[in-house]
Amino acid sequence: MSWPAAVLWVLMIAAVLSRGPSLLYLLMITGAFGSLQMLPFSGGVNLLPQSACAALFVCKALVQRGNITRGIESALDPQRMILFTTFIGYGVFGAVILPRAFLGLLEVVPISAPISGTDILRPSSGNYTQSCYLMLSYGTALTFSIIGQSASLRRHYRLALVWAAYVLFLTGVVDLITYSLHIGSVLEPFRTATYSFLVDVEAEGAKRVVGLMPEASTFGTACAGLMASLIYLRPLYEKGAEQTSVLVAIALLGLMTILSTSATGLVGLGVLGLVYGADLVYRIFDTYNPRRAGLNFELAVLFLALFAVFAGIVMKPNLLDPVYSVIDGLLYEKTKSASYAERSMWTRIGWHAFLDTGGMGAGLGSIRVSNWAVSILGSTGVFGALMMFGFIAQQLLTMPREAPKDVAVFSTALKLSLLPTLSMYLVVSTIPDIGVGAASVLGLIAASHTPAPRPVPGPSPSSPVPVGGRA
């Protein structure tokens, strides 16, 4: 175990023992350490800081009085977690049964075997590790669905995202500095996971920023997803220093996404732009929309940004040529690369695994693909896909029941911020796991569907009131 892992363990244990929200802040911040192994002896299994923190967070929340009962209610609530609960039950069952039922009958790209190319389907350690990762994401979503009703929790969650944004930005700066000074070995204690690392890659003569992630694609995806959350939640922060810090964080995350030169990150930014534009037009014409607060400020910033770009192009017509060159290299030339061909092969084999099993799937952890939807289908089949996609669609499309205005606004902002992340999953995700970050968002959305507490029945106004202890 490296010294950064030891330090994080100490911080997390201290946060567990504390009475404040420090563990929530650590849960968001540790998402920036995507290449750090937290286990002293892994045996090929990676436990990342955010996963370790999520496990402690779930345990701490569930041991609180009454939360286990509330968790069961949420897990079985048709408007909250029942579809995700069913998906987990079927997915874990299938991870044990399906690789044995179709043993040797399918060609797959193994997710855990140390080989390149394809192999026949067989049970492996990946069936268990991937089941554990997905159960951890489920536990995170379930926990937020029962504690996300608290206004204090929602406020600390928003603040934790800002802290996470600055930490993510700082990891990118440290990566750039150490690369420029040729002291990249300084970051080796933070890169101890048993992944293949691509940390010293250049694009168009410039270093691709990876932060403390395994590769630029992961770093760019994290930056774009967190940026989307802050953009939509910005009006909910207090005016003054809080909103200023959020605006700075948004700008810094956008810069890091671009410097990562991640094609996936650029896709996320593109989807974010489309969703934001459509939502902006909707809020302009919907005069009763509760999210119109700050609309004039957004329009002013957008106008100034467009004017600055237009003025720059007028003064220097070839100003955007480097941008076009990078986009061409990432989105067009990439389709001719060996990496693109390999990832396309993964997805094709995963799709055939779905078809060859008659739509039942090969089991969690049995296949590696490069498309989240195909990963769900190839792993858990039609039934699993209906449950998972149904759960996400339900949370994104249904309105909170009996929720106050601030909760409804918060829930809508979370829904819109999740769309760029889901779009990036479709491009690059290799496993069915939605991750701790997306799980926390879905859990908070589900919390907005919590039924209002029933009033305690009292005496009727017309009933006689006992006096002196005698009716």
Per-residue pLDDT, averaged over 311-326, amounts to: 66
How far from the centroid of its chain's Cα atoms is residue 202's Cα?
27
Measured between alpha carbons, how far is 6 from 12 in angstroms, rounded to an integer? 10
Measured between alpha carbons, how far is 265 from 220 in angstroms, rounded to an integer? 5
Q: Are 413 and 110 in contact (CB under 8 A)?
A: no
Share of the chain above pLDDT 70, in %: 88
pLDDT at site 324: 61
pLDDT at site 389: 95
Per-residue pLDDT, averaged over 287-293, amounts to: 78
pLDDT at site 408: 87
Strand-pair partners of 119: 108
pLDDT at site 326: 60
Type of residue found at 62: L
Type of residue found at 162: V
Q: Quick: pLDDT tens for 184-195.
A: 889 999 999 887
| pLDDT band with cut points at 50, 70 and 90 for residue 344 | confident
Per-residue pLDDT, averaged over 2-15, amounts to: 95
Q: What are phi and psi of 467, to 5 degrees?
A: -130, 135
pLDDT at site 439: 95
pLDDT at site 286: 82
Extended beta strands in 64-185, E state: 107-108, 119-120
Average pLDDT of the chain is: 86
Per-residue pLDDT, averaged over 290-305, amounts to: 81
Beta-carbon contacts of residue 289 (< 8 Å; ≥ 6 apart): 282, 283
Q: Which of 209-213, 217-221, 399-403, 463-467 has the lowest mean pLDDT?
A: 463-467
Highest mean pLDDT among 419-428, 438-447, 462-471: 438-447
Q: What angle in degrees, to the nearest 10, is found between the helix axes of 216-233 and 241-259?
A: 150
pLDDT at site 115: 54
Per-residue pLDDT, averaged over 227-254, amounts to: 93
Q: Does 5 score more than 50 pLDDT?
A: yes
pLDDT at site 201: 80
Q: Quick: pLDDT tens for 25-75.
A: 999 999 999 999 998 876 667 889 999 999 999 999 999 999 999 999 999
427-453: b or e for each residue (b if 16 or more CB lie within 10 Å)? Answer: bbbbbbbbbbbbbbbbbbbbbbbbeee
pLDDT at site 204: 66
Measured between alpha carbons, how far is 76 from 73 in angstroms, rounded to an integer? 5
DSSP string, 359-381: TS---TTS---S-HHHHHHHHHH
Measured between alpha carbons, how far is 465 from 329 in angstroms, rounded to an integer? 81
pTM of this structure: 0.89
- Token pair recorded at residue 222: 């994290």
Per-residue pLDDT, averaged over 200-219, amounts to: 85
pLDDT at site 4: 93
Q: ∠444-408-384 over CA atoms, to 5°?
A: 45
Per-residue pLDDT, averaged over 136-165, amounts to: 95
Q: Does 206 score more than 90 pLDDT?
A: no
Strand-pair partners of 410: none
Q: Quick: pLDDT tens for 347-395.
A: 899 999 999 999 999 999 889 888 899 999 999 999 999 999 999 999 9
pLDDT at site 464: 45
Q: Does 469 score more than 50 pLDDT?
A: no
- Token pair recorded at residue 252: 């810094």
pLDDT at site 152: 93
Q: Quick: pLDDT tens for 389-427.
A: 999 999 999 887 777 888 888 999 999 999 999 999 888
Beta-carbon contacts of residue 8 (< 8 Å; ≥ 6 apart): 26, 30, 33, 36, 38, 49, 52, 53
Per-residue pLDDT, averaged over 245-253, amounts to: 95
DSSP 329: I
Measured between alpha carbons, how far is 269 from 25 in angstroms, rounded to an integer? 25
**C-alpha dihedral (235, 241, 242, 245), degrees to nearest 10:** 100
pLDDT at site 465: 41
Measured between alpha carbons, how far is 127 from 124 in angstroms, rounded to an integer? 6
Torsion sign, CA atoms 289, 293, 294, 296 = positive
Q: Are strands 119-120 and 206-207 parallel, antiparallel or unpaired?
A: unpaired
Type of residue found at 166: Y
Q: Which of 101-110, 291-300, 308-317 has the lowest mean pLDDT?
A: 308-317
Q: Are 61 and 147 in contact (CB under 8 A)?
A: yes
Which one is predicted more confidently, 39 or 455? 39
pLDDT at site 3: 92
Share of the chain above pLDDT 90, in %: 54
Q: Does 95 score more than 90 pLDDT?
A: yes
Per-residue pLDDT, averaged over 334-346, amounts to: 74
Q: Does 332 score more than 80 pLDDT?
A: no
pLDDT at site 470: 40
- Cβ count within 10 A of residue 151: 11
What's the residue count for the chain? 471
